Structure 1
Amino acid sequence: MKQETFVQRHQAEWAALEQWFDARGGSARKARAHRREWQGLSDFEMPGRYRRLCQQLALARRRGYSAVVTDRLQQLMQRGHGVLYRTPAPRWRRAVEFLLAGFPRLVREEKGVMLAAMALFVLPLVAIYVAIQIQPDLSSALYDPVQLAGMEDMYDPNDPQRALGRDDGTDVAMFGFYIWNNVSVGFKVFASGLLAGLGPILALASEGIRAGAVASHLQAVGHGDPFWRFVCGHASFELTAIVIAGGAGLRLGLNLIAPGQRRRIDALVEAGRRGALLCAGVLAMLVIAAFIEAFWSSIGWMPASIKYSVAAVLWTAVFVWLLAGGRNDLYAEQPA
């Protein structure tokens, strides 16, 4: 093939690559800011385009094309190499980027199982709460008298100087306890997905019934104000994390019983991989919840107005993070 024909055939490709490098190959922050305005090559096309460029450079050299052509292709190849093979970000930065963008994007990709998990948790919670408000004696069928007395003592409104919702342990000791307890619940809900999907259903429903029963009993006996002041802050992270863990468990169970066109083991491995990523985010949420629970929620003297205002901010932050996090990420999945 003559050089003129070669250049004419591939000129548009090279121009498109140059435009991408100029607009997208520099600052990642700037590229994310203008991502929606970009009309050129898709980011996901670049690995294939780069391989094709390397082939064209090899052909140009082998055929003895002029230095004008080979130098241009060499420069494009070097620019592409600098973008595609640059040193990856430090581990801590990649972890932060995953939590801020990758994790909420993964949660949205599993919207179906997440909504199902939320229903399995919230509906039993609301049902048992209403039932105990109508018939307070129902709480005795779920907890023995010693447990009920212990709950009432932890949230006694006549002892305002006492740390809410716990014994006399230090903040640091209780922080460790809350982490262990929260992570145990989250792992149980997720891992139960291996029981053909039945495990997360039972685990989510039981957690919802437990939370609803405790809240309703304390409200019914007049201890509701200390209880709500205690749980309102950390509940945004803790309850949402449990629902996400349940959604990951449901995905595990669905892939196990309905692998579709894939082999069952392949579907299970894929669900396990995605579940592990989701559980990494769930772990971070539960640690945050434990920190809030140990160092903020237990403060008994704090006015209710401040507690509820902070809780409203935390709930809003969690929803905005999960619904909007990662939407402007440079390498977020783009619609076909």
Structure 2
Amino acid sequence: MREALFIKKNKDRWLKNQQEPPGTPDEQARSFTQLVDDLAYAKTFYPTSKTTQYLNKQASDMYLGIYQNHKEESSRIGYFWKYELPLVIYKQRKAVLFAFVLFTVFFLLAFFIAAKDPELANNFFGDNYVQKTLDNIADGNPFGIYETGNPVLSWLGIMINNIRVAFFFFVSGIFCGVPTMYKLAETGAMIGIFDQLFASKGLGIQFWLVVFVHGTLEITAIILAGAAGFVLGKSFLFPGTKKRMEAFGEGAKDGVKIMIGILPAFIIAAFFEGLFTRLYNNASWFTTLLTAASVLFVIWYFIIYPVQLFRRGIRIAKEGSAGDV
């Protein structure tokens, strides 16, 4: 079937699903199943077409709607963490991937540039901070900077600062995402330079084992905050087939959900930095365990689980539709 005929045959149903979403669970399951079948057909015969992209977006939105309206025995908060946040992460996966790639590119650029230009670290962190770090390395306690200050006050101060920075990432997304891109790139560069400061002294592996006790959750949350800002800017600049303000409202809603979702990550990361990172000398097995557990959690909850949840939704919708026949 030619693509034009395929569109003509199904266009009215697609527009109706978008403008007048099905009300009852049975209608939602039936419409979703039809849409998944259309999407499978389009991916087979028109894999690079805008029609395929449009159907993929509509299927994602409809699936999210099915789960948002699904009654759960658990509390509303539990439902948010179990379903809403992972599905929003999946729905906005392109923005998340873009934020991750941007952060990683500038991390690597700064890491290798700093190897050629040692003064770059002084420009970013200041002479006093760099000199103190170098003195700690010379004294055999390279990460001694994390042992200073009151643990509880450090936790609260770090937490408040990180949350403040993250909300700037998100809100500044309204300005076409440009400030968000700049700050996210700057953060990636800063960490790359910091890594090089230790790697140049033969402490590259120790850097990852110690700093990422708290850094795994903290950096993940920063990247997701950047993604939330990109979602906000993208929804206004590129509304697609929806009205601009309608698309912006949906983007803002998804962005807020992401920001709410990463708050615990900032709280826990700051707690780890204030109380546990400093234990790297006395309980290295424990800090290494925390780092490994954090990495596994991030990979599972923010990458694997959203995909599993989406695929499970497709299966549930198909089974529900089959049961109605």
* Structure 1 residue 187 corresponds to structure 2 residue 174: no
Instruction: Report the structure number with the largest CA radius of gyration.
Output: 1
Pairing 1:150-299 to 2, within 5 Å after superposition: 150-152=132-134, 155-156=136-137, 158=139, 160=141, 164-166=144-146, 168-221=148-201, 227-299=207-279
Which residue identity is paired with 2:106? P
TM-score normalised by structure 1 residue count: 0.66
Which residue identity is paired with 1:130? F
1:207 CA displacement: 0.7
Structure 2 gap ranges (5+) = 1-23, 31-68, 319-325
Q: Deviations over 1:93-112 (max 9, x none)?
A: 32233224321221111111
* Structure 1 residue 99 corresponds to structure 2 residue 87: no
Of 118, 123, 129, which residue of structure 2 is paired with 1:147? 129
Of 103, 108, 121, which residue of structure 2 is paired with 1:121? 103
SS at match of 1:259: coil
Change (3 A) 1:298 1:96: farther
1:167 CA displacement: 6.1
Q: Do 1:190 and 1:200's aligned partners in 2 also have CA atoms closer than 8 Å?
A: yes
Q: Do 1:117 and 1:243's aligned partners in 2 also have CA atoms closer than 8 Å?
A: yes
1:114 CA displacement: 0.7
Q: Do 2:280 and 2:287's aligned partners in 1 also have CA atoms closer than 8 Å?
A: no
Distance 1:99 1:174 in 2: 28
Change (3 A) 1:330 1:132: closer
Change (3 A) 1:332 1:85: closer
Structure-2 residue corresponding to 1:318: 298
Distance 1:181 1:332 in 2: 38
TM-score normalised by structure 2 residue count: 0.68
1:307 CA displacement: 2.8
Distance 1:256 1:178 in 2: 32
Structure-2 residue corresponding to 1:10: none
1:171 CA displacement: 1.7
Q: Deviations over 1:149-203 (max 9, x none)?
A: 24445x546264x984346432211111111121112111111101112122111
SS at match of 1:142: helix
Distance 1:258 1:320 in 2: 30
Change (3 A) 1:131 1:122: same
Distance 2:317 2:138 in 1: 54
Distance 2:235 2:242 in 1: 9
More helix by share: 2
1:133 CA displacement: 2.0
Structure-2 residue corresponding to 1:25: none
Q: Deviations over 1:234-264 (max 9, x none)?
A: 1221111111111111111111212223232
Q: Do 2:87 and 2:310's aligned partners in 1 also have CA atoms closer than 8 Å?
A: no
Number of residue equivalences: 255
Say what the alpha-carbon RMSD is for the aligned residues: 3.2
SS at match of 2:279: coil
Distance 1:307 1:106 in 2: 31
Distance 1:178 1:258 in 2: 35
Q: Do 2:146 and 2:273's aligned partners in 1 also have CA atoms closer than 8 Å?
A: no
Matched-pair identity in %? 22
Change (3 A) 1:152 1:325: same
Distance 1:288 1:247 in 2: 20
Structure 1 gap ranges (5+) = 1-42, 50-83
Q: Do 1:189 and 1:245's aligned partners in 2 also have CA atoms closer than 8 Å?
A: yes
Distance 1:151 1:184 in 2: 26
Which residue identity is paired with 1:44? P
